[in-house]
Amino acid sequence: MNEFILEANNIVKQYATHRALDDVSLSIPKGSIFGLLGPNGAGKTTFIRIVTQIINRDGGDIFFDGEALKPKHTQLIGYLPEERGLYKKMKVGEQLIYLAQLKGLSKKQTMDKLKIWFEKFDMQTWWNKNVEDLSKGMQQKIQFVATVMHQPSLIILDEPFSGFDPINANLIKDEILELRNQGSTIIFSTHRMESVEELCDHVALINKSKKILDGRKKDIKAQFKPNLVSIEYEGDLGQIAANYEVAEEEKGRDGHHRAEIHLNEGQDRKALIKSLVEQVNLHAFVEKLPTINDIFTSMVNDNNENQPVETTENK
């Protein structure tokens, strides 16, 4: 059994003088929520359009569940683009039936599934409304249902929370997790790093057409951890402050001191904890990990600084 729902190897896409994707390789594990990250213009949407076969690649190979990507695989993919594409003058019910049948569902299958989704999203009164008469958030719900109701193996969501208030954004988050639990794999492209923190198992970062980071989220966060611990204690750090880099903060209203301790190369956390419990009354010891937003910002800035300046000699 193949481990990956999608494998993209050395993908290249060239537009006249601009290379949108430059030797990008990604493997999307089955049953994962995969965060596809990058600044505007990095190449994320180009990659998605190649996977959904809206545009062709100029180089590289793509495999869907171990088989070379073919037109038939579009039936197994649900794609929610950032630019929404509903028919404004068409009634909601008619439109969803039409879109479901394009994905191969029978009329009965469609009606059974739509009944469930309309109840989930409290949309029972929308059936005969024209799309143009709905708010942006309501239209977003309709398009989300159109994307997932045929239970695709791979769901691609490009900025899925755009236009949603916090309550409906949480509703969609819950459904994304439920779809993953039911066996779908989700590629999740967004600029909302807090959503990546909450939802994603794996992340990849594309910048200036190249992949610059890829892996399991927890492994990436461990890789970039700053070797910094935060402690809460009563007492005097004394000898500890002599052996470690300590930034002591003000005493809290509860009488506890709070400090951050930086561990240099070779300094062991267990040894630090042992020293602390011998010298102070230790209430909390928390290893600080970077956020995905911290890593994203740092990697993009470093990558941009290391890019050669374009001149007439290296164009």
Report whether pLDDT(310) > 60: no
Residue 136 has a pLDDT of 87
Q: Which two tokens stand for residue 96?
A: 């969803």
Residue 269 has a pLDDT of 87
Query: Which of 4-8, 134-138, 156-160, 217-221 is the most confident on average?
Result: 4-8
Average pLDDT, the chain: 90
Report whether pLDDT(30) > 50: yes
Residue pLDDT, tens place only, 250-302: 777 777 889 999 988 888 889 999 999 998 999 999 988 889 999 999 888 88
Strand-pair partners of 90: none
Phi, psi of 103 (to 5 degrees): -90, 5
Q: 113 by DSSP, 3-state: which?
A: helix
- Residue of 240, 297, 249 whose CA lies nearest to 274: 240
Residue pLDDT, tens place only, 75-93: 999 999 987 778 888 999 9
Share of residues in the chain with pLDDT > 70 (%):
97
Residue pLDDT, tens place only, 150-204: 999 999 999 898 878 889 999 999 999 999 999 999 999 988 888 999 999 999 9
Cα dist. 152→10, 31, 156, 161 in Å? 25, 12, 10, 20
Residue pLDDT, tens place only, 112-146: 999 999 999 999 999 999 999 998 889 999 999 99
pLDDT band at 312 (very low <50, low <70, confident <90, very high): very low
- Domain formed by 4-216, architecture: 3-Layer(aba) Sandwich (3.40)
Report whether pLDDT(314) > 50: no
Q: What is the DSSP string of 36-92?
A: EE--TTSSHHHHHHHHTTSS--SEEEEEETTEE--GGGGGGEEEE-SS----TTSBH
Check if the beta carbon of residue 103 is closer than 8 Å to that of residue 75.
yes
Q: Give me the mean pLDDT over the 11-40 stretch.
A: 94
Q: 212 by DSSP, 3-state: which?
A: strand
CATH class of 226-288: alpha beta
Residue 308 has a pLDDT of 54
DSSP-H helix ranges across 130-285: 136-148, 166-181, 193-199, 217-223, 239-243, 269-279
Q: Give me the mean pLDDT over the 209-229 stretch.
A: 91
Domain boundaries, the chain: 4-216, 226-288
Q: Which two tokens stand for residue 315?
A: 């164009």
pLDDT band at 56 (very low <50, low <70, confident <90, very high): very high
Check if the beta carbon of residue 36 is closer than 8 Å to that of residue 221.
no
| Structure-model confidence comparison of residues 185 and 247, the more confident one | 185
